Chains A and B, each alone.
Chain A
Amino acid sequence: GESVGLHLPTLSVQEGDNSIINCAYSNSASDYFIWYKQESGKGPQFIIDIRSNMDKRQGQRVTVLLNKTVKHLSLQIAATQPGDSAVYFCAETGSNTGKLIFGQGTTLQVKP
């Protein structure tokens, strides 16, 4: 079946460095993508989203890039902080379905 996947299960970065978390998706019909952050024992927290008619969207310290040609999504976190340590999930959905398909998740570890 179709799925959203992540390249790296764990990413370890130094505090203050930039982090890049990658995601590959296989459903070419997906037109909406979201990044979520999940801390231990909590629900996913919305970070940023992007539609398929865009290739870049910026938020506060975060940027999402979408490359539809190679079906690749990335989340960039600038000046990574200890509070950014969590599991990050990408999710995709197709038009009108509303159903989110989640990737496997990447654990981000920030070293002080």
Chain B
Amino acid sequence: GAVVSQHPSWVICKSGTSVKIECRSLDFQATTMFWYRQFPKQSLMLMATSNEGSKATYEQGVEKDKFLINHASLTLSTLTVTSAHPEDSSFYICSARPMVGVDTLKDTQYFGPGTRLTVL
């Protein structure tokens, strides 16, 4: 149980285009999902907290107009990188926190497999 998927797993786009990444919790409902980015050989950096039915909360330094987050249902959150530039190239990872504990403490976050974005 507690499986999170992301689509696409990798994407290459031209500078100036927009890219949408989907994050789905497959076997549980999640009122809260989180978006992270990770550069090579570095740790995960939280970008924003996505709450179902409300606006996302962005971390300091993260442009909300550039990284659009929509959490339309209890199993789906999307991240859209608008007007992507080469410096946006990174590994984007989402996580989901179950509404009710699955098989461990209820605050656990389960992570998706990540999306590798390369902007040319």
Which residues of A are in contact with B by a Cβ distance under 8 Å? 32, 34, 36, 41-46, 49, 51, 89, 93, 98-105
Residue of B nearest to A95 (CB): B107
Q: Within the complex, which residue of B43, B97, B112 is in contact with A98, where a contact is CB–CB below 8 Å?
A: B97
Shortest CB-to-CB span from B32 to chain A, Å, is: 6
Verify A89–B49 contact, CB threshold 8 A.
no
Which residues of B are in contact with A by a Cβ distance under 8 Å? 2, 4, 6, 32, 34, 42-46, 49, 93, 95, 97, 104-105, 107-114, 116
Q: How far is the CA of A86 from the CA of B93 in the complex (A)?
A: 17
Question: Would you give 21 A-B contacts (Cβ < 8 Å), ordered by A?
Answer: A32-B105, A34-B108, A41-B114, A42-B114, A43-B111, A43-B112, A45-B111, A46-B2, A46-B110, A49-B105, A98-B32, A98-B109, A99-B46, A99-B49, A100-B44, A100-B46, A102-B43, A103-B43, A104-B43, A105-B42, A105-B43
- Collect the chain A residues with CB atoms within 8 Å of residue B107's CB: 32, 93, 98
- Collect the chain B residues with CB atoms within 8 Å of residue A36's CB: 111
Shortest CB-to-CB span from A103 to chain B, Å, is: 7
Verify A43–B113 contact, CB threshold 8 A.
yes
Given A42-B113, A43-B93, A43-B112, A100:B34 Cβ within 8 A = yes
Shortest CB-to-CB span from A59 to chain B, Å, is: 9
Most buried by A among B6, B44, B110, B112: B44
- Collect the chain B residues with CB atoms within 8 Å of residue A41's CB: 114, 116
Given A32-B105, A43-B93, A102:B44 Cβ within 8 A = yes
- Collect the chain A residues with CB atoms within 8 Å of residue B112's CB: 43
